[in-house]
C-alpha cells in the first residue's frame, strides 16, 4: 500500500512522513503550499510520483525528480484521480481541504482526516464510514469506542490556549503575537489562534457529532494535554484515553493499525504525571464563543457558517486589522445573521453559501 499526503509541509504532514518512513510506506503523492524548500527535501527523500503546489509561480522552484507536478485545487483533484493509493491523509488547513476529502471518497479511497473543516462545513454530505479520524481527540474517542458497550456521552479536552490565565479584562485587546504563544506546543498560526478563542473545540464537538452520532458531547480544559478524551457508558462507568501530546500515535493507527500496536512513537506517561491531572470547565466569560456550542449541536449544519466567518476573522486578526476581541464580534454577528440556513445539498451549494458568509463577515466594522 502507498499513501497520498495532502499538507506535507505542515506539522501533521511532517509527522506523517516520520511514521511512513518507520513503516516503510511508499508516498505516491505530496501536496504542499508555499514551503517549497521543505517540499523539495521531501521529494528527494520519498520520490513521489505526483506533487501538487499551491501557486503556479513556484513551478520553477520545484525539484521534481521525475514527479509529475500540478498546481492549485484542480491540481489536487487531478493528482488524486491518478493516484493508485487507497489511503489519503488530508492535513490541509481550512475550507480548502473539503473538496479533496469529498473527491477522495468519491474515488473509493479511505481518508485519514486531520482537516477539521471538512466535517465542520459539510458533515452531512460526507460518508463517515470512509473516514479515519486523525485529530487526537477523535482518534482517542475511536480508540475507546472500539468494540465497546453502549455509551451515553463523550468528552474531549482542551489545553485552554494562549489566554487561559490572562486577566479577563485584557483578553479582548490581545495582539496576534500574544495569541500565538501556545502554552503546550508549537502549531500553525491558524490552529493556534483557534485554540486561544476555543473555536477549535467547537469544531471538534461538531466533528465528534458527525463521526459518532452523539449530541451529548462536552469539553473540559486539561492543562497538561495528557487526557485527550473520555467516554461515559450507559452502565455508569467511564474510560479515559491518555497519551503524550504527539500526533504520531493517531497517524500510525491510520497508516497501519497492526504495526501501530507494536511500535512506540511516544515516551511513557509516569505515575507522577497522573497525580497532578485536573479537569476544569470552559468559562464563557473567558471564551465567549463557547456559548455557541448548544446551538451548533442543535443545528450541526451551522458549522459551515462558523468555519467561514472564523477564517475571515482569523485572517483579519493575523493581518492586524483588529485586536482579539474583534474576532469574537465578527463571529458572533455572522452566526446571528445566518442562524437560519438554506438547504445545502451539494458541494457547489456549500461553496456558494460559504462565499456569502465570508462577504458578510468582511463587511463588518470592528
Which domains, from first to last, does the chain contain? 3-134 (3.40.50.720), 135-160+216-286 (no CATH), 163-197+299-366 (1.10.1740.10)
- Please indicate if the annotation marks 268 as binding a ligand: no
- Please indicate if the annotation marks 115 as binding a ligand: yes
Question: Which pLDDT value is given to residue 334?
Answer: 98
E strands, the chain, are 3-6, 27-31, 50-53, 68-71, 87-90, 110-113, 131-133, 151-158, 217-221, 227-233, 238-242
- Give the integer Cα–Cα distance in Å for 256 and 125: 27
- Please indicate if the annotation marks 201 as binding a ligand: yes
- Please indicate if the annotation marks 34 as binding a ligand: yes
CA distances from 223 to 76, 157, 261, 270 (A): 37, 9, 27, 16
For every one of its 366 residues, what pLDDT tens digit does the chain have, with 9 covering 90 and above?
Answer: 899 999 999 999 999 999 999 999 999 999 999 999 999 999 999 999 999 999 999 999 999 778 999 999 999 999 999 999 999 999 999 999 999 999 999 999 999 999 999 999 999 999 999 999 999 999 999 999 987 778 999 999 999 999 999 999 999 999 999 999 988 777 789 999 999 999 999 999 999 999 999 999 999 999 999 999 999 999 999 999 999 988 999 999 999 999 999 888 888 888 888 888 999 999 999 999 999 999 999 999 999 999 999 999 999 999 999 999 999 999 999 999 999 999 999 999 999 999 999 999 999 998
- Please indicate if the annotation marks 301 as binding a ligand: no
Tell the residue number behind the cell numbers 510520483, with chain if given: 49
Task: Locate 366 and state its grid cell.
Answer: 470592528
- Please indicate if the annotation marks 43 as binding a ligand: no
Question: Which pLDDT value is given to residue 147?
Answer: 75
* 165: helix, strand or coil: coil
- Please indicate if the annotation marks 184 as binding a ligand: no
Number of Cβ atoms within 10 Å of the Cβ of 233: 16
- Please indicate if the annotation marks 37 as binding a ligand: no
- Please indicate if the annotation marks 33 as binding a ligand: yes
- Give the integer Cα–Cα distance in Å for 178 and 136: 25
- Give the integer Cα–Cα distance in Å for 228 and 365: 38
* Burial state string for 174-183 with b = 16 or more CB within 10 A and e = fewer than 16: bebebbbebe
- Please indicate if the annotation marks 195 as binding a ligand: yes
- Please indicate if the annotation marks 276 as binding a ligand: no
- Please indicate if the annotation marks 284 as binding a ligand: no
Question: Which pLDDT value is given to residue 274?
Answer: 85
CA distances from 7 to 14, 164, 196, 199, 329 (A): 9, 29, 23, 21, 31
- Please indicate if the annotation marks 136 as binding a ligand: yes
- Pairing relation of β-strands 87-90 and 3-6? parallel
**What strands, in cross-sheet order, belong to the sheet with 151-158?**
217-221, 151-158, 227-233, 238-242
- Please indicate if the annotation marks 78 as binding a ligand: no
Amino acid at each position: 500500500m502507498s499513501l497520498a499526503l495532502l499538507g506535507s509541509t505542515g506539522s501533521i504532514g511532517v509527522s506523517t512522513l516520520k511514521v511512513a518512513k518507520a513503516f516503510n510506506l511508499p508516498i505516491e503523492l505530496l501536496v504542499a503550499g508555499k514551503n517549497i524548500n521543505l517540499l523539495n527535501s521531501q521529494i528527494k527523500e520519498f520520490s513521489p510520483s505526483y506533487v501538487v503546489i499551491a501557486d503556479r509561480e513556484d513551478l520553477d522552484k520545484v525539484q521534481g525528480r521525475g514527479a509529475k507536478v500540478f498546481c492549485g485545487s484542480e491540481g489536487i483533484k487531478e493528482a488524486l484521480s491518478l493516484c493508485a493509493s487507497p489511503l489519503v491523509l488530508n492535513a490541509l488547513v481550512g475550507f480548502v481541504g473539503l473538496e479533496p476529502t469529498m473527491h477522495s471518497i468519491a474515488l473509493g479511497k479511505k481518508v485519514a482526516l486531520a482537516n477539521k473543516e471538512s466535517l465542520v462545513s459539510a458533515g452531512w454530505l460526507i460518508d463517515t464510514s470512509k473516514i479515519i479520524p486523525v485529530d487526537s481527540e477523535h482518534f482517542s474517542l475511536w480508540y475507546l469506542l472500539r468494540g465497546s458497550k453502549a455509551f451515553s456521552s463523550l468528552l474531549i479536552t482542551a489545553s485552554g490556549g494562549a489566554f487561559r490565565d490572562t486577566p479577563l479584562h485584557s483578553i479582548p485587546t490581545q495582539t496576534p503575537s500574544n495569541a500565538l504563544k501556545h502554552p503546550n506546543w508549537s502549531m500553525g498560526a491558524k490552529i493556534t489562534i483557534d485554540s486561544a478563542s476555543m473555536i477549535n473545540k467547537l469544531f471538534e464537538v461538531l466533528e465528534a457529532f458527525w463521526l459518532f452520532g452523539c449530541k451529548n458531547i462536552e469539553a473540559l480544559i486539561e492543562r497538561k494535554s495528557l487526557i485527550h478524551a473520555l467516554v461515559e457508558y450507559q452502565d455508569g462507568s467511564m474510560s479515559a484515553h491518555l497519551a503524550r501530546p504527539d500526533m504520531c500515535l493517531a497517524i500510525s493507527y491510520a497508516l497501519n493499525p497492526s504495526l501501530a500496536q507494536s511500535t512506540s512513537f511516544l515516551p511513557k506517561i509516569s505515575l507522577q504525571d497522573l497525580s497532578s491531572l485536573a479537569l476544569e470547565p470552559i468559562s464563557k466569560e473567558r471564551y465567549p464563543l463557547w456559548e455557541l456550542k448548544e446551538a451548533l449541536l442543535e443545528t450541526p449544519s451551522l458549522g459551515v457558517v462558523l468555519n467561514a466567518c472564523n477564517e475571515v476573522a482569523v485572517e483579519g486578526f493575523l493581518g492586524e486589522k483588529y485586536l482579539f476581541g474583534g474576532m469574537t464580534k465578527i463571529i458572533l454577528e455572522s452566526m446571528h445573521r445566518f442562524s437560519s440556513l438554506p438547504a445545502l445539498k451539494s458541494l457547489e451549494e456549500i461553496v456558494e453559501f460559504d462565499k456569502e458568509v465570508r462577504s458578510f463577515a468582511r463587511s463588518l466594522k470592528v
